[in-house]
Amino acid sequence: MENERKLRVGGSPLLVPEFVAVHAWVAIIGALALVAGNIVGSIVVPGHDWIADTVSDLAAGRYEIIQDVTLYAFAAALICLSLAAAHLHDGSRAWSVLVYTLVLLALCVTIIAARNEYGDGDKEGIVIHIYVVYALGALFITAFSILGFRGHRFGRGVIVSSRVSAIIWLVGTPVFFNLPTSIDGAFERFLGIVAVIWCIIFAMAMRRWSFHHG
């Protein structure tokens, strides 16, 4: 009976709401963990200025473990989003690109956490931090844009939030790279919050849709 519930006529797999729900909740928790880690790190790290200092500054140095762990949690959130999105694939090439984009985003976040560059002034060897940040910006804009045009089945809220996020990041990313270092930390956090909110909205929408159509 359980197998029959998960199969359509002809043997094509049905949606498994429980699978999507688990990954959606992990994505939500991982996204919130990133915010919590940034708040805690900003309080614990001596002399940290959340307006001037970036997340990269928190992810390097004596207390790097706080931000690093939550960056890994956010990477796990992005992986879970990609798994849930793959399970709810709509058959289009654009959706495939979205799934792989989320995986690449998780990889970028992991590299930023693991490499310990930039924030501690590390200039030894090949410093790739800035290039990973460029990739992060391009990938988030890609993910926002795809869902903004392919997310109709999840409701208007997903469409609107994705398009707004895409516009904010498209305009805000070049602004961030040209801001003085005295205020770039606050602006980076603003962009980060936009991404976190988008992840949570997307995760909740996938969970609702799968349970209604499973």
Domain ranges of the chain: 2-213
Mean pLDDT is lowest, of 68-77, 137-146, 181-190, 198-207, for 181-190
Average pLDDT over residues 157-167: 97
Identify which has the larger pLDDT, 183 or 170. Answer: 170
Spatial distance between the Cα atoms of 84 and 81, rounded to a whole number of angstroms:
5
With cut-offs at 50, 70 and 90, classify the pLDDT of residue 136.
very high
List CB contacts of 14: < 8 A, sequence separation 6 or more.
5, 6, 7, 8, 214
- Residue 99: predicted pLDDT: 98
Please, what sign has the CA dihedral across residues 204, 102, 145, 12? negative
What is the tens place of the pLDDT at every residue in 76-99?
A: 999 999 999 999 999 999 999 999
Helix orientation angle between 184-213 and 156-177, rounded to the nearest 10 degrees: 160
Q: What is the pTM of this model?
A: 0.88
- Residue 42: predicted pLDDT: 82
- Residue 187: predicted pLDDT: 92
Q: What is the mean pLDDT of the chain?
A: 86
- Residue 67: predicted pLDDT: 82
